[in-house]
Amino acid sequence: MTLRHEVFVSAMIPAAGPPPPDRGPSQWSSLSHTLIFGPTEALLTDPPISRGQADTLADWVDGHGVALRYIYLTHAHADHFLTTNYLLRRWPEATVVAGAAVLSRIARETPGGEISERYVSFFGDVLPEPPVTVHGTDFPASGLTLDGHEIFAHAVGHSDTGDTTVLHVPEPGLVVAGDVVYNNVHQFVGEGRDGGLDAWHRALDRVASLEPRFVVASHKDTRRPDLPSDIDETRRYLDAAAEVIDSSADATEFYHALKRRYPDRINPWAIWLSARRLFTN
C-alpha cells in the first residue's frame, strides 16, 4: 500500500506589524501542514505559529487514527517551528527530525528558548510559552521508513532563507517543498540580494529534478491543487522580483511595482516585509 498524504492549511492571522503603503491589512500568510501516513504511522510537517492554530491542526491529525511518529521541519523560519514543543505535549512519543543545519539555525534564533522579539511584536500572547528551541534528531542520510515506505530529506540551499530542505516521498511522487515553492501567495524575497534569488533558482532546480507528481508549498492558495507547475510559477515571480528590485528606488516603489505585477496573489503584506528588508536605508 502506497503512503497517502493530506494537506491542512492554517488560515492567515493578523500581525501587529507595519501596514503597507496602501494601508492594506497586516497579516501572516496561510501555512500548509502535510500529513504523510500509512495504515498505522504518520509524519507531520512544519507546525504553525499560534496555539490556536496548533490545537486545530492537532485535532485534524488525531482524526486520521494513526500514530504520529515524526514531526519534520523544512527550515528555520519561526512560522514553521514555533509550536513544535507545544504539539509534543499532545504526542510526547513523536520524534522531531530536521536537517542538522536547520536545527542549528533554530537554536541560534531561539537563545534560551525565547521567541524573537520580532515575532512577539507581531503576534503577542497567541504564541506558545517558551521554551521553543527544538531538540530534534538529524534526518538520516539513508532516509526514514514509515509503514515500510522510504522518505528522504534533501538539503537544497537558499530559498527565501538559508539552509532550506525539502521532503521527498518517492511513492506517491510527493515533494513537501517548504518555502522553496509558493502556490499563488506573495513570496518573501527579503533575503534575495547578493545572489539570494539565483540560489533560490538552484533550489527549484533540485525540486524539479525529483520529478514530483505533487508539490506542496508551505504558503498556498487553498483554491488551487498542489501541482509541479508551481515550481515554474515560483521561478517567474523571482524573475519579476529581480527586475523590480533593480528598478525601484525605495521600499514603497518596490511594493507598488511588485503588487502591480501580481495583483491576484494572496497577502500583499508579504511584499512589504520583503521591501523593508531589501531597502533598509
Q: Specify the residue for cell string 508551505.
A: 218
Give the pLDDT score at 280: 85
Taking only the tens place, the pLDDT of each residue in 184-229 is 999 999 999 999 999 999 999 999 999 999 999 999 999 999 999 9
| Neighbouring-strand partners of residue 115 | none
**pTM metric for this prediction:** 0.97
Which phi and psi (to 5°) does residue 14 adopt? Answer: -65, 150
Cell numbers found for residue 273: 516585509
Mean pLDDT (the chain) is 97
**Domains of the chain (ranges plus CATH)?**
4-278 (3.60.15.10)
Q: 95, 85, 78, 84: which is closest to 43 by C-alpha?
A: 95
Count of CA atoms in the C-beta half-sphere (13 A) of 81: 30
CB 271 within 8 A of CB 255: yes
pLDDT mean over 252-263 = 98
Q: What is the pLDDT of residues 96-151, one digit of tens each?
A: 999 999 999 999 999 999 999 999 999 999 999 999 999 999 999 999 999 999 99
Q: Can you tell me which residue has the cell 534575495?
A: 192
Question: How far is the C-alpha of 222 from the C-alpha of 7, rounded, in Å?
Answer: 10
Closest to 180 measured CA to CA, from 209, 151, 141 = 209
User: pLDDT-based confidence at 2, cuts 50/70/90?
Assistant: confident
DSSP symbol at 222 = T
Give the integer Cα–Cα distance in Å for 171 and 168: 9
Residue 158 has pLDDT above 90, yes or no: yes
Return the SS3 of 253. helix
Q: What is the pLDDT of residues 33-60, one digit of tens each?
A: 999 999 999 999 999 999 999 999 999 9
Give the list of residues 6+ apart from residue 91 with CB closer than 8 angstroms, or none: 68, 71
Residue 163 has pLDDT above 90, yes or no: yes
Write the Ramachandran bin of 250: left for phi over 0, alpha for psi from -120 to 50, otherwise beta.
beta
Residue 281 has pLDDT above 70, yes or no: no
DSSP β-ladder status, 13-14 and 27-28 = antiparallel
Burial class (CB in 10 A: 0-12, 13-18, 19+), 45: buried
